[in-house]
Structure 1
Amino acid sequence: MTDEKQPSGPDLTRGVNLADFNDGKLLGHVGDEDVLLVQLGTEVVAIEPACTHYHGPLAEGLVVDDTIRCPWHHACFSLRTGEAVAAPALNALAVWEVEREKDRIVVRRKREAPPQAAPHRSAPTPDRFVIIGGGAAGFAAAEMLRREGFAGSITMLSNDSALPVDRPNLSKDYLAGNAPEDWLPLRPEDYYAGAGIDLRLDTSVAALDPKQRHVTLGNGDKVPFDRLLLATGAEPVKLKIPGSDQPHVHTLRSVADSRAIIAAAGSARRALVIGASFIGLEVAASLRARKLEVHVVAPEERPMERILGAEMGDFVRALHEENGVHFHLKDTVEKLDGRRAHLKGGGVIESDLVVVGIGVKPRLELAERAGLAIDRGVSVDAYLETSAPGIFAAGDIARWPDPHSQASVRVEHWVVAERQGQTAARNMLGRRERYDAVPFFWSQHYDVPINYVGHAEGWDDIKIDGSITGRDCLLRYRKGGRVRAVASIYRDLESLKAELDMERSRA
């Protein structure tokens, strides 16, 4: 017996036939490395078969033109170059050389990585770029600028003390104790110096001057810019009740927040989660993994009903109850008296740890003071440019014209923020690329992943295919005769196809 992973499929150095392929794909190996063959018309290409994000199985993914999409979190890669063309993956796949020997397809060696892209010269490129924000959108923009060959200065101003991190992990595997902290950074510390990105942590920005083209830091220093990305993100909504300022009461947004909750959980017996949001319930699941008794208080009748509908809400509640979570729904916490939470309905819950997850709000103050157009977010056009020329916005603060929902929307999703950062970067270089990606997010509850594509603020009906309670389903949220969003559990390929259908049905 051995724990070592065995190579997959046939030995590709001996060759295979097209007849061996299944739905245009074949998973094999070269030595001890797995390789995925994909048929593109009369051509066959070979790539690394594990997504560089969370190692999703690309053999189960969707081929679209000359790209392949990951079934887990919808990252997209070029099949010809391996490049990660759409977040959440950032690293490229390895690509292998394919040879033809009569009717046999043979793979023996990897292709050398392509050289760094040359700067695009479609328009004069300014030299000084400033990014305000160290989250998903800000990091993705800085990384894409260098990937696109931009050779000017990039200054990234973050009010966080931590390097840009994989924030979804803060409420999922890291908080649950299943992932070490060194998995969190999107890039190691030495990446920034090597890439020539001036990352300034613990740096506040006091003012943005669109006319004079500079930002003023909290210490009074001025940083000039030619083009700027505003990616200030969101912050947790604060609980405004007596006792909410006690040290055992936490919110979750940053690495420091997650560390503090983990530290408190080490000596706690019972936790109270206020709010049945995605973050709140992911925290509840993570704290159950740490063997704490967990109570959830929320005003709604069902968790997540506003986003996922009644039947999915009932399933999510039942799933958490199966794992030991106690719900107190249609109720609120009126005050925290020491360790005692007094509920409006008259109940009292004693807890050693309180986590508040009642939503987030976009950080708009800087944009408002700068005179940028605001509409429940920073208003941007299809190219993510604000009302001030040369100033772009992306991520949780950006409200953009969504071609699928035919409305202006603002979405607080990690993948949306990353993809907007990437598009904004290319447009800062003069590309004029419309942001038209279909929104996507995922949530994890114990062993059940929920994927969601599209954006439905309301619906006329929900068509359910499969069984929600059987954890094998796809839900279509329809309004005005069109599918506005799709949620799924273990229907990964169908989720990818639904995303593609939405892309192709845009107005």
Structure 2
Amino acid sequence: MAQDQSPSGPDLTQGVPVIALDGGKLLGHVGEKDILVVRTGDEIFAIDAQCSHYHGPLVDGLLDGSTVRCPWHHACFDLRSGEAVRAPALSPLSCWKVEQRDGKLFVQSKLEKQEKPAGQDVPARVVIIGGGGAGFAAAEMLRRQNYQGSIVMLSADTSVPVDRPNLSKDYLAGSAPEDWLPLRSDKYYSKAGIDLRLQTEVTAIDVAVRQVITADGDKVPYDRLLLATGAEPVRLTIPGADQPNVHTLRTLDDSRAIIAATGNARRALVIGSSFIGLEVAAALRARDIEVHVVAPSKRPMERVLGAEIGDFIRALHEEHGVIFHLEDAVIAIEGSKVRLKSGELHEIDLIVAGIGVRPRLALAEQAGLAIDNGVVVDTYLETTVPGIYAAGDIARWPDPHTGQAIRVEHWVVAERQGQVAALNMLGRQQKFEAVPFFWSQHYDIPINYVGHAESWDDVAIDGDISAKDCAVQYKSNGRVLATVTIYRDLESLEEEVRMERQNA
């Protein structure tokens, strides 16, 4: 995450020549605050210059109509209101008044924010099951839209909703403090009137009387219900998998446990070469722990990213000292020893299993919702039972970009679905049409992925993957389904917009 630095560019309170905006963007400051001035069409806007997510520089982002998109993680802001219209950013930015006189632009004061009406068909009671990205984004959006009704959020987690991607990245590596993790402070929930109930297991949904039943026997009534139960890690079933030195990573408690285990660990083994597994490997290497990765695949991440990026990722990790055991498997854990299918035996202090996740569908099945590799929802994210919505890792929705029903396990998708579900619970009738996006971080190398490709017949590479400057397109019958970029942030944003317009 970037930190605040000295103000950039000219002092906008003193005025700058209008001609300075010929390129469409100008970075300046008001006092100590960086401000981005942009021209789009015949209009000129001024907005805070840093994304409210990880403080990405919006001057390097993409202008699209009356919005600006962040180059790092594709958050999007309305230039007129400052509203964070797309996750992963949740907090709005300030907009500033732009005045023109004597051939100069002046920015000196903020614009006042406008309250939004809640909607037409407003429910009295909303219940959200799940404390992850989708559930939190829905609750936050409801309040952002001036919804005044009851919000009860039921979460099995022990902590308030956190920035889950960071659990396997900077926080696990020791370069981010824990107070960076909460999406909002503890005080936010009481102040916003969100009844967040932690360590609360939901056992049933009574569709007939519209109420949720918890393990403690509480009955929580709802008018609209959001299922955002997420996914759970696939557990090892091999001998010794229940030993205390074996971990998975999904929650803040999981990340804390791994960090605690690193205190006396010299050698770690990661089972699985997925995104989560290799991000853990990179984080443990940052703690100067020897790391071995065991996986049955020929290349890391080949199923999602193909052979070329898979080879690059393996080489990147090997440059940082990771030792791979590919086309192999762990068959037993015997105390501090790990036995591989190949016959190798390794002395290991810490084991992290990253072998995938499964959507939590039990509640949806019990409630009689349609299930097909996830909870079936329509384009408005409503399930087959009216008044019940689903978002995040469990939702399988009709994707206009692939022409198929898909389910993906991406943080940004979950947050964006939570936001759209919230709007539709307020009667907005907004279709979920966002192009899927995720990012992965390996050491100092960001990998951005936009689109969705379960299979492809052609891979087109522009640039040089090994030089960390490339755009890789995954195609089927000549159509681009997904694009991976490394250090081509603007190109990734442009591809996102292209995909959106292709299916508009």
TM-score (norm 2): 0.98
1:219 match? 216
Q: Does 2:136 correspond to 1:144?
A: no
Alignment partner of 1:456 out of 453, 456, 467: 453
One-letter amino acid of the structure 1 residue matched with residue 486 of structure 2: I
2:24 match? 24
Instruction: Give CA-to-partner distance per residue, 1:395-422, whole Å, 9 cap, x none.
Output: 0000000000000000000000000000
SS in 2 for 1:280: helix
SS in 2 for 1:499: helix
In 2, Cα distance between equivalents of 1:449 and 1:394: 26
In 2, Cα distance between equivalents of 1:60 and 1:43: 19
One-letter amino acid of the structure 2 residue matched with residue 26 of structure 1: L
Contact 2:279 2:442 in 1 (8 A): yes
Contact 2:271 2:353 in 1 (8 A): yes
2:108 match? 108
1:483 match? 480
1:35 match? 35
2:84 match? 84
Contact 2:118 2:426 in 1 (8 A): no
SS in 2 for 1:203: coil
SS in 2 for 1:449: strand
One-letter amino acid of the structure 1 residue matched with residue 307 of structure 2: A
**Aligned pairs (5 A) from 1:179-328:** 179-328=176-325
In 1, Cα distance between equivalents of 2:21 and 2:262: 50
In 1, Cα distance between equivalents of 2:286 and 2:490: 29
One-letter amino acid of the structure 2 residue matched with residue 264 of structure 1: A
Deviation of 1:22 (Å): 5.2
Instruction: Give CA-to-partner distance per residue, 1:241-297, whole Å, 9 cap, x none.
Output: 000000000000000000000000011000000000000000000000001000000
Residues 93-102 or 139-148, more deviating:
93-102
Deviation of 1:225 (Å): 0.6
1:14 match? 14
**Aligned pairs (5 A) from 1:274-423:** 274-423=271-420
Unaligned stretches of 5+ residues in structure 2:
none
Deviation of 1:304 (Å): 0.6
One-letter amino acid of the structure 2 residue matched with residue 487 of structure 1: V
One-letter amino acid of the structure 1 residue matched with residue 180 of structure 2: W
SS in 2 for 1:242: coil
1:117 match? 116
In 1, Cα distance between equivalents of 2:303 and 2:5: 43
In 2, Cα distance between equivalents of 1:87 and 1:325: 33
In 2, Cα distance between equivalents of 1:18 and 1:452: 37
SS in 2 for 1:287: helix
2:44 match? 44
Runs of 4+ in 1 over 4 A off after TM superposition: none
In 1, Cα distance between equivalents of 2:42 and 2:431: 32
In 2, Cα distance between equivalents of 1:32 and 1:202: 42
1:504 match? 501
1:59 match? 59
In 2, Cα distance between equivalents of 1:4 and 1:374: 47
One-letter amino acid of the structure 1 residue matched with residue 36 of structure 2: L
Deviation of 1:115 (Å): 4.6
Q: Does 2:492 correspond to 1:473?
A: no
SS in 2 for 1:309: helix
Residues 458-467 or 102-111, more deviating:
102-111
SS in 1 for 2:8: coil
1:168 match? 165
Relative distance call for 1:235 and 1:22 in structure 2 (3 A) is: farther
Contact 2:381 2:421 in 1 (8 A): yes
Q: Between the two proteins, what is the percent identity of the paired residues?
A: 66
2:93 match? 93
Relative distance call for 1:422 and 1:238 in structure 2 (3 A) is: same
One-letter amino acid of the structure 2 residue matched with residue 20 of structure 1: A
One-letter amino acid of the structure 2 residue matched with residue 176 of structure 1: A
Residues 393-402 or 16-25, more deviating:
16-25
SS in 2 for 1:26: strand
Deviation of 1:481 (Å): 1.8
1:71 match? 71
In 1, Cα distance between equivalents of 2:78 and 2:36: 13
In 2, Cα distance between equivalents of 1:333 and 1:319: 23
SS in 2 for 1:500: helix
Instruction: Give CA-to-partner distance per residue, 1:359-409, whole Å, 9 cap, x none.
Output: 000000110111100001000000000010000000000000000000000
SS in 2 for 1:294: strand
Contact 2:227 2:391 in 1 (8 A): yes
Contact 2:35 2:46 in 1 (8 A): yes
Instruction: Give CA-to-partner distance per residue, 1:174-219, whole Å, 9 cap, x none.
Output: 0000110011100001100111100000000010121210111101
SS in 2 for 1:504: helix
1:447 match? 444
In 1, Cα distance between equivalents of 2:276 and 2:186: 27
In 1, Cα distance between equivalents of 2:48 and 2:455: 40
Residues 237-246 or 473-482, more deviating:
473-482
In 1, Cα distance between equivalents of 2:99 and 2:202: 55
One-letter amino acid of the structure 1 residue matched with residue 382 of structure 2: E
In 2, Cα distance between equivalents of 1:468 and 1:459: 19
In 2, Cα distance between equivalents of 1:134 and 1:207: 17
Unaligned stretches of 5+ residues in structure 1:
none
One-letter amino acid of the structure 1 residue matched with residue 10 of structure 2: P
Relative distance call for 1:266 and 1:116 in structure 2 (3 A) is: farther
TM-score (norm 1): 0.98
SS in 1 for 2:16: coil
Deviation of 1:32 (Å): 2.2
In 2, Cα distance between equivalents of 1:480 and 1:215: 46
In 2, Cα distance between equivalents of 1:43 and 1:388: 45
Deviation of 1:4 (Å): 8.9
